[in-house]
């Protein structure tokens, strides 16, 4: 009995292929091999590939359900570790996502302890060599929205490179259980390693409003008629149009 037959056992009464868990399948290629595995599905019925890994625990402490690794040797060009491209090929009123990441916690379980986290995705850029060039950008997450020259824009709700949304429904009063926000910016470097700014805006002189607020009239964070007699207790230092400017922070404003 060949190893391939033992690995894939076909049930002749069904369309299911079962895998013998005692036998592994490895593809080791040397030289200029273009593809080790190639799947081309022309019929529009169901997915091409599904990988499920249930009740998984690791024996060596490295808990990785599915792993993709590679090393690039190209000295120029664009290198993608995982490339995902999907096209919407017909008129639609649905939602299309090239990549969707979701981290769920099962009901009835508890997440606790220092540095615990539940995250739909984590992206890290970690240079370990030499950075030398004014055009070099190091980013942990890059988001871009673009339009083709032939695109017709009649009406949209929003077009944005990054959408940070919060839909927490059982938080209660602010500050009760901890901090909550749509966007969290942290700088955890050692002393002496400064960031130039927390937020950098490059608008090509084509940003109409710096900030727009909607449905915020009843919030304590925004007031259109502050107490004009309040004393300035501090400033936010900003850099606008090549000038260092200051946004005053008032103490003692009447807020109702």
What torsion, rounded to 10 degrees, do the Cα atoms 191, 196, 200, 203 define?
Answer: -170
Model pTM score: 0.78
Per DSSP, the chain holds a count of helices (H) and strands (E) of 1, 4
pLDDT higher than threshold 60 for residue 14: no
Most confident of 54-58, 198-202, 219-223, 227-231: 198-202
- pLDDT at residue 1 in the model: 42
Question: What is the distance between the alpha carbons of residues 185 and 199, in angstroms, rounded to a whole number?
Answer: 9
- The stretch 68-76 carries a mean pLDDT of 87
């Amino acid at each position: 009995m060949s190893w391939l037959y033992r690995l894939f056992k076909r049930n002749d009464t069904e369309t299911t292929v079962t895998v013998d868990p005692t036998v592994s399948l490895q593809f080791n290629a040397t030289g200029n091999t273009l593809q080790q595995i190639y799947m081309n599905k022309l019929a529009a019925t169901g997915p091409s590939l599904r990988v499920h890994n249930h009740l998984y625990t690791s024996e060596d402490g490295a808990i990785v359900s599915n792993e993709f690794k590679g090393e690039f040797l190209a000295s120029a060009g664009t290198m993608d570790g995982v490339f995902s491209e999907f096209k919407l090929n017909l008129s639609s009123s649905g939602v299309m996502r090239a990549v969707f990441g979701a981290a769920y916690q099962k009901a009835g379980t508890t997440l606790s302890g220092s540095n615990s986290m539940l995250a739909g995705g984590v992206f890290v850029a970690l240079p370990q060599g030499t950075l030398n060039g004014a055009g070099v950008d190091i980013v942990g997450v890059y988001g871009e929205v673009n339009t083709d020259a032939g695109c017709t824009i009649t009406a949209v709700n929003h077009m944005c490179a990054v959408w940070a949304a919060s839909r927490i429904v059982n938080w209660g009063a602010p500050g009760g259980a901890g901090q909550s926000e749509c966007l969290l910016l942290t700088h955890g470097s050692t002393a002496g390693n400064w960031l130039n700014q927390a937020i950098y805006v490059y608008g090509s002189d084509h940003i109409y409003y710096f900030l727009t607020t909607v449905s915020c009239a009843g919030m304590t964070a925004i007031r259109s008629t502050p107490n004009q007699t309040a004393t300035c207790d501090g400033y936010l230092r900003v850099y606008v149009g090549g000038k260092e400017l200051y946004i005053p922070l008032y103490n003692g404003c009447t807020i109702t």
